[in-house]
Amino acid sequence: MVFLLQKTLIYAAPLLIVALAGMFSERSGVINLALEGEMVFGAFCGAIIARAFVNNGILVDHVQLLFAIVLVASAICGAVFSLLLSLSAVKLKANQTIGGTAINMLAAAVVNAFALSLFNSEKIQMPASFGGYVIKNPDICSVARVFGDKAYISTYIIVGLFIILSIWIYKTKTGMRLRSCGEHPQAAASVGINVFKMRYLGTTISGALAGLGGYAYIATVANGTSEGTVGGMGFLALAIMIFGNWKPLGIAIGAVLFGLLKCIGPISSSFDFLKNLGMPMYFYNIIPYFVVLVVLAITAKRSGCPKAEGIPYDKGMR
Amino acid sequence: MSGFRKLIGKSGFKSVISSILCIIAGIIVGFVVMIILSLFNDKINIGDAFYGLRIILGGPFSSGTAKYIITNLGDMIFYAAPLVMTGVSVALANKTGLFNIGAPGQFLMGTLGSLLVALNINTIDKPGLSVLVWILAILVGAVCGAIWGCIPGFFRAVFNVNEVIVCIMTNWIAANIVSWVFGEMPHLVNKGAGKSGYLFTTATTGNSTPKLGLNNIFKGSYIDIGIFVAIALAIVIYIILTKTTFGYELRACGANKYGARYAGMNEKKNIILSMAIAGALAGVGGALYYLCPGIEFKFDSAYAKLPDYGFNGIPAALLGSNNPIAVIFVGLFIRYLSIGGDNLSSAGYNKYIADVIIALIIYFAGFSKLFRDIMDRRRKKEASIIKADIADVKKDAEPIIETSEAEATAEAESNVSPDVQPVTGEEVDQ
């Protein structure tokens, strides 16, 4: 049981932060289908930076600090990459669905091209000396072990960031302005808010969080292997955001629920209870996607979807 | 001059120009990526970037000797067939106002259905029967794809859920189902030397796509008559879209679903039907690809990665302005670039550069409205000049100019937003 909860937490953390990333972008009025691509790109940059650090012998004695620094670096890379989306969606008023899809394909292609060219393989392994970044406390009581044993510092960072940013978007002036641009940009503009600036801010924060989540994903779930895909986690995060009704609390519940559902597939073979059911791994893999469909069908009516999402801001439309 | 002006006024011409602009922009930025890559990799210098660009633009013609060029040309045509199918699938859905990003899943379901038929019925001793089984396999593939396309259509029509998210979920479900079903059928798995996780090819059961001598022209390539099936279906979809009431209804729902409902059309039915047909087309794409005797299906890793063919249907549709006939040419063009990408290793690059260029082309395709707006702005300026001319003559002959001015204004207005196709009588005539 403790093992299952530990695994759930590991899977839930990247989902949590990437779903929040989606929320930031959509609350500012931009559909961010590019979450997957931003995750891939952030993860790739993080893996390269981690290798550079370790190969040059910098901070190798402080693995946790190194991990945290690489997380920040991949967030910056994700933010820079997301400028491609904001340029097309905010400045040039292009179709946001097409732009997001293109960025997803671009991220996978660029990552594969660079990885194969620079490392002679599509997959980049994190350096071996980076292996000690798992926090191990096997002797504490079982409840504390869920949070403190076999855990990663990224999980704590993500939860902390999640709480801070959720308060920020609801309680600060800038956060409220950002949300107003997703609901009625023309009204927001009429009281002097710069809609373009707010949308740039929303997508950039979104890109940063997605990049961070991407690196957290490859460092924890994917055992330190970066490649041209994050296995649909970005899209799952998007679904969690819709499940959570574009609100942080709902997203948190959704992330834990889908973290649990998502981790059942890969670990099903190590559970006697699941093994006795005789279902293959594929069955458990399907469950989270199937549940998303059911949830979407049920929650479609009470949608808290930002009213202006996906519509390029046009000053002339009042 | 007036003839030329009329030509640039046509929306079809504008689409072609904006597509070409997208392609040029994609290639230029792709070239920049190649230069950046050459800065990071010591083995590649900047001169190689120019050489690499030449290889990509040369497509199959940069494969060296005449023999390889012929083989690669045949391969290009073969690989284009499934791409045309997924492209037409995305284009049809786009015409109805839906973004079919579920083509990879429908492609996989088509593969599943067609291979189940083609590999389970052995016609190696009965050559007459094999064509029937081949047709049956394609039909089953189409039905499987159609069912898979229905799901997002149903969610969109009934629950008003964004089809994109449903499509993505169904993609991953399809990928897992395919791995699961074939995993349960060990008699279809090729356990030959060095094989792991591959199915038998259709050559073992005799139900592969006929070649009709094409393999004698393009020696050593995979080519079969799949491309003709793809072209025929693209033409059929074009006719349905432009010449039938049903196609008109689909386009009307895409242009303005409230208007379509007001006009008495059942827009929910049309959305589901459109997605079903789109799914069937993508399913046929999967069937055509894997019914080729030379192509093996690696089922055990299918659950982890979605097929590129599904996603590459999106650029095919976007560059072809959602016109099924144009998609045929765009499909060939994309494969042309990809074959060029496969030849890149001689310049020190890898095949993913072609993917980068294709992705960039889609990125710029998002701006096609911008390109068209710029063209329209010029057009509007010209219209206003005409108006000014008319105003000058106005003093002399008032009644005649009234109408011509109205015409000029109407013309200028009709060119303002070519993206939103108004539901007018003119559409019915097409």
ipTM entry: 0.89
Instruction: Quote the percentage of chain A above a pLDDT of 90.
Output: 43
Whether the pLDDT of residue A9 is over 60: the answer is yes
User: Distance between CA atoms of A124 and A71, rounded to whole angstroms?
Assistant: 16
Residue A103 in any domain: the answer is yes
pLDDT beyond 60 at A172? yes
Report, in angstroms and rounded to the nearest whole number, the Rg of chain B calculated over CA atoms: 24
Q: Does residue A305 lie within any of the structural domains?
A: no
Decide if A288 contacts B191 (C-beta within 8 A): no
CA B194, B200, B206 angle in degrees (round to 5)?
Answer: 140
Say if residues B96 and B250 touch (Cβ distance below 8 Å): yes
Amino acid B394: pLDDT: 54
Q: What pLDDT, on the 0 to 100 scale, is given for residue A311? A: 83
Distance from CA of B396 to the nearest CA of A (A): 38
Least confident range of A295-304, B366-375, B378-387: B378-387
* Neighbour tally for A310: CB within 10 Å: 17
Identity of the residue in B162, B169, B360 whose CB atom sits nearest the CB atom of A289: B169
Q: Answer yes or no: is A249 within a domain.
A: no
Residue B313 in contact with residue B221, Cβ under 8 Å?
Answer: no
Tokens 């209804």 correspond to B249
Mean pLDDT, all residues of chain A: 87
Confidence of residue B376 (pLDDT cuts 50, 70, 90): confident
pLDDT in tens, B230-253: 999 999 999 999 999 999 999 998
> Is the predicted pLDDT of residue B25 greater than 50, yes or no?
yes
Domain span at residue A103? 2-229
Please say whether the beta carbons of B376 and B418 come within 8 A.
yes
Chain B residue numbers with beta carbons less than 8 Å from the beta carbon of A118 are: 40-41
Residue A80 lies in a domain: yes
Residue A129 has pLDDT above 70, yes or no: no
**Gap from B128 CA to chain A (nearest CA, Å):** 38
Substitution target from A95, A233, A299 for chain B, most B beta carbons within 10 A: A95
Task: Specify the residue for token string 């997001």.
Answer: A100
A220-224 average pLDDT score: 83
Q: Confidence class of residue A56 from pLDDT cuts 50, 70 and 90? A: confident
Residue A36 lies in a domain: yes
pLDDT tens digit string along B90-119? 999 999 989 898 999 999 999 999 999 999
Residue A301 vs residue B406, higher pLDDT:
A301
Q: Which residues of B touch A297 (CB under 8 A)?
A: 155, 159, 161
pLDDT band for position A297 (cuts 50, 70, 90): confident
Per-position b or e across A147-173, b if 16+ CB within 10 A of its CB:
bbbbbbbbbebbbebbeebbeebeeee
Long-range contacts of the stretch A165-171 (C-beta < 8 A, 24+)? A165/A20, A165/A24, A165/A205, A165/A209, A166/A20, A166/A248, A169/A23, A169/A24, A169/A27, A169/A248, A170/A248
Residue A172 forms part of a structural domain: yes
Element (H, E) at B105: helix B103-120
Residue type for position A262: K
Does the pLDDT value for residue A272 go beyond 80?
no
Residues 30-89 of A with CB under 8 A from B: 33, 84, 88
Whether A82 shows a pLDDT value over 80: the answer reads yes
Whether residue A173 is predicted with pLDDT greater than 90 in this model: the reply is yes
Going by pLDDT thresholds of 50, 70 and 90, the confidence category of residue A280 is confident
Check if A225 contacts B (Cβ < 8 Å).
Answer: no
Q: Do B37 and A92 touch (CB under 8 A)?
A: no
- Walk me through the domains of chain B, giving residue ranges and CATH numbers: 67-343 (1.10.3470), 370-429 (no CATH)
For B332, list phi and psi in degrees, rounded to 5: -65, -40
Asked whether the beta carbons of residue A84 and residue B165 sit closer than 8 angstroms, the reply is: no
More confident residue, A272 or B363: B363
- What pLDDT was estimated at residue B6? 64
Structure tokens at B338: 């990809």
Q: How far apart are CA A156 and CA A168, in angstroms?
A: 18
Helix (H, G, I), strand (E, B) or coil at B198: strand
Position B419 scores a pLDDT of 45
Nearest to B99 among A97, A109, A280 (CB): A97
Please tell me the predicted confidence (pLDDT) of residue A80: 95
Higher pLDDT, A169 or A268: A169
Interface test with B, best of A38, A41, A235, A302 (most B CBs within 10 A): A235
pLDDT > 70 fraction of chain A, expressed in percent and rounded: 97
Packed helices B267-290 and B308-319: angle between N→C axes, nearest 10 degrees? 120
* pLDDT over 80 (residue A97): yes
pLDDT higher at A182 or A142: A182
Mutate to test the interface with B, among A117, A261, A262, A317 (most CBs of B within 10 A): A117
| Total number of domains constituting chain A | 1
How far, in Å, CA of B363 to CA of B25, rounded? 10
Long-range Cβ pairs for the range B41-46 (8 Å, 24+): B41/A117, B41/A118, B41/B348, B43/B348, B44/A117, B44/B347, B44/B348, B44/B349
User: Is residue A308 scored above 90 in pLDDT?
Assistant: no
Residue A282: CB atoms within 10 Å: 21
Is it the case that residue B399 has pLDDT exceeding 80?
no
Residues 6+ apart with CB under 8 A from B403: none
> What distance in Å separates the CA atoms of residue B349 and residue B337, rounded to the nearest whole number?
14
- Cβ–Cβ contact A92 with B under 8 A: yes
Whether residue A86 is contained in a domain is answered as yes
Residues A225-245 have pLDDT tens digits of 888 888 888 988 988 888 888
Has residue A168 got a pLDDT over 90? Answer: yes
* Mean pLDDT calculated for residue range B292-297: 88
B103 and B111 in contact (C-beta within 8 Å)? no
